[in-house]
Amino acid sequence: MTIGDMRHRLHLEAPLESPDGGGGVTRTWALVAEVWAALKPVSGGETVEADGVSGRVSHEVWIRFRAGVLPEMRFTLGTRVFEIRAAIDTGERHRFLRCLVEERVA
């Protein structure tokens, strides 16, 4: 990984849940940080959901190491949303964080 590969400015967001008054919760997203990242598509596929075709694309997102990145968080790039599935400290050296993410494609 080279720094020059990190040309995408992504927003790292964390979920905020508040009671909705009916026994459930309302989820919103709060910006944690803006990070430079390398975004690399890995694979894609389609599934049928509710009588419609839904696509998913798996990516690797590489960022500088930062503590506290969890699978319940997500990255956004404009209107694109990347749900974090795993965050891996590559080589356990605290240099880079490799995040396996999934993007839903309409």
Residue spans of the domains in the chain: they are 3-105
- Predicted structure pTM score: 0.84
Amino acid 50: pLDDT: 67
Are the C-beta atoms of residues 36 and 12 closer than 8 Å to each other? Answer: no
**Which tens digits make up the pLDDT trace of 68-99?**
999 999 999 999 999 999 999 988 999 999 99
Which CATH architecture group holds 3-105?
Beta Barrel (2.40)
The helix/strand/coil state of 90 is: helix
- Residues 91 and 75: beta-carbon distance below 8 Å: no
